[in-house]
Structure 1
Amino acid sequence: MKNMKHLGILLSLLFLLGTFTGCSSITVSSDGNEEKSFEFIISSNQPDTHPTVVALKEFAKELVEKSQGTMKATVYSSGVLGSDRETLELVQFGAVDMVSTGVSTIESYEKMYSLFSVPYLFNDKSHYYQVMDSEYMRDEVFQKTAELGFVVKTWFDAGARSFYTKDTPISEPSDLNGLKMRTLASPTLMEMVSLMGGNPTPLDWGEVYGALQQGVIDGLENNELALTVNKHAEVAKEFSNTRHLFAPDVLIVNTNTLNKLTDNQRAILDEAFHELSLNQRELWEEEIEKAIQEAKEQGVNFTDPDMQAFIDSVKPMHEQVAKEYPEFIDLINRLGNE
């Protein structure tokens, strides 16, 4: 009921603003032909300083130039249009054109996306990039939700996720015993934390800072950027580089929005999406280095545990996904051995 009320309020607001999905008008292109123009709404729960939002805003500027004014976009950051799950519903319904969100948000719509919450699936960042840029991801996995009203059009680097806590160093899985560790509302991530010995505690992202500060949770798993962009370094002082997960963020797009475009506009948009992803990755690398240095200056202690014990603790998850998704695991193994 709460979600439906929220959806109704947002739909009313978007109607009043005149910015309902893919809002269009007629524009005369440079060759003198008439072509519909579109104004897209893009949502992100990250703040303006986050690399993904910075890249999205650059994408919006360049899209106008690349399309000769027939495509424009407005980026709404900091979750002003709702939580990840709420804005995904808005995209599915057609009230928002695009949303940048963590890949686990789609798990409840397409189970295969839960694979990206399986720890230690990739050997390293290079292996992870190879898989994410593969034709199989683009042509198969990213299209699986098309019948539900949305598809993934590109992906963003969200770093390697590791454990960090208020004041407890994590050197081996047993150090997680009894600790309340915040996770996304992902059954896969919750299983991972349980297998490693922790107590998985799903919690909305906006509540994490206060929960750490008040001791409602002992820690969580995320990347280094969360320490600075989300100010967690103020209340969490132990960061363990377990690097257990490379889980991308994705840009989800309403299928009706795409279907309204001409072939030329879709080609322009696809090229812009590709450049957006590459740009975001560069920005991410730059910001991660800055974040680590800034967090250290705020008193965060970074440690490098022996990861083999963590890898061994989640072997049951690897055995299960190998049975359920042999084609995908074969791809991962093949690219990992190249």
Structure 2
Amino acid sequence: MKFKKNLLGICMLLVLILTGCGSNNSQADINKTIIRVGHNQSQKHPTHIGLLAFEKYIEENLGDKYDVQVFPSELLGSQTDMVQLTQTGAINICVASNAILETFDDVYEIFNLPYLFASAESYHHVMDDPEITNPIFTSTKDAGFQAVTWLDAGSRSFYTKNRPIKSAADLKGLKIRVQQSPTNVKMMSLLGGSASPMGFGEVYTALQAGIIDGAENNEMSLTDNGHGDICKYYSYDMHQMVPDIVIANYEWLNDLQEDERAIFEEGFKILNQTQRKEWVTAVENAKEKAAKEQGVKFIYPDQSEFVEKVAPLTQEVLQRNTKLQPYYDKIQEYNKEFPAQKEAKQ
């Protein structure tokens, strides 16, 4: 099955390459190296806007040599397909979920731990600390790629079709889509729900068909992906703050000339900063649209019950995967510096 999906992604890529090489291209364009970038979000999403800023910066500085092409909305296949294509070098850069990267090196498991970060401030400071992230980002070099920056995906909470989640007990018996990660599957089990791992692009149809009762993600999923048309309850349990990770083919990245590499590194910073700035505005707009146009009700349950139920998972993971403990300890230092704040519930 994985081979078939990978083959499909490669075929789609070849079609796009051939389509982009029409007779109207100038000789200068033909001589440029195409940098293919794939992601699974819409063209309105902060991730796409950030990647366009990246494209603009690279082409302003290296436009005589490189043509950056950004493919949104899974045009190059699912995230799993794109990661595999980035491994082989068929595409240069893609945005991957942390859950997928966990299958390549289990050090990424640290970010999937529920209630890992006490606040958004702690989360951002951790992700901006190279002492924490660099060893993680370079852990997949032997797999053919490495992370080059992270993107804000906000906090993940549950949203459902027919039953509001006011306490962990309300999850009992519900089939909830989770990312394809063993950690997330175990989390759902501890909370009393039934985990249904699947790719993000499959969620809308699964909700519509009644295959699942709900999902867990950020507010943007309600509006950008239409999930709020089906799910009318969004419960802020905020069980995870998991970054999206931008990865690049390792061989391509390290074959860049030193001056070119410096420009690409600056481009990755611009991508990060632009995406995070756009994220804040996008979440505000998504909440307003979901409430007013889709009729979504936002619920703010007591988080303590959820935290208590999943606590054994954190201890189990730390004991099993001992290399996570140093990262966990450093994160706790940031949690002490940036504790949870009581936010106004709107």
- Whether these two folds match at TM > 0.5 is yes
Equivalent in the alignment of 1:100 = 95
- Given that 1:160 and 1:245 are in contact with CA atoms closer than 8 Å, whether structure 2 keeps it comes out as yes
**Match for residue 8 of structure 2?**
6
Are the equivalent residues in 2 in contact too, given 1:152–1:250 (CA < 8 A)? yes
Once the two structures are superposed, residues 231-280 of structure 1 have per-residue CA deviations (whole angstroms, 9 ceiling, x without a partner) of 11110000100111000111110011112211111111111111210110
Percent of paired sites with the same residue: 37
- The amino acid of 2:259's aligned partner reads N
* Aligned equivalents of 1:101, 1:320: Cα separation in 2: 25
Which residue identity does 2:260 align to in structure 1? Q
RMSD (Å) for aligned C-alpha atoms: 2.0
Aligned residue in 2 for 1:317: 313
* CA drift at 1:326: 1.4
What does 1:177-326 align with in structure 2 at a 5 Å threshold?
Answer: 177-297=172-292, 298-323=294-319, 324=322, 325-326=324-325
- Structure 1 residue 165: Cα displacement: 0.1
2:24 match: none
TM-score, normalization: structure 2?
0.89
Q: Which amino acid aligns with 2:263?
A: I
**Counterpart contact for 1:180–1:198, Cα < 8 Å:** yes
Q: Which has the higher contact order (CA 8 A, sep 6+)?
A: 2
The answer as to whether partners of 2:41 and 2:74 remain within 8 angstroms in 1 is yes
Q: Which has the higher strand share?
A: 1
Q: Where does residue 85 of structure 2 map in the other structure?
A: 90
**Pairwise CA distance, 1:62:** 1.7
In 2: Cα distance, 1:12 partner to 1:279 partner: 30
Task: Please state whether the residue corresponding to 1:201 is helix, strand or coil.
Answer: strand
* Residues 126 and 305 of structure 1, relative CA distance in 2, 3 Å threshold: same
194-203 or 58-67, larger mean C-alpha shift: 58-67
Gaps of 5+ in 1: 20-24, 28-35
Structure 1: which amino acid aligns with 2:11?
Answer: I
Whole-Å separation in 2 of the counterparts to 1:46 and 1:239: 20
Distance 1:322 1:207, change over 3 A: closer
Matches of 1:293 and 1:17 in 2, distance apart? Answer: 39
Structure 2, unmatched stretches of 5+, are: 22-26, 338-346
Cα distance per residue 1:197-242 (max 9 Å; x no partner):
1000112222211221222111010000000000111100001001
Match of 1:144 in 2: 139
SS of structure 2 residue aligned to 1:318: helix
Aligned residues between the structures: 325
Contact 1:14 1:95 in 2 (8 A): no
* CA distance 1:214–1:14, change in 2 (3 Å): closer
TM-score, normalisation: structure 1: 0.91
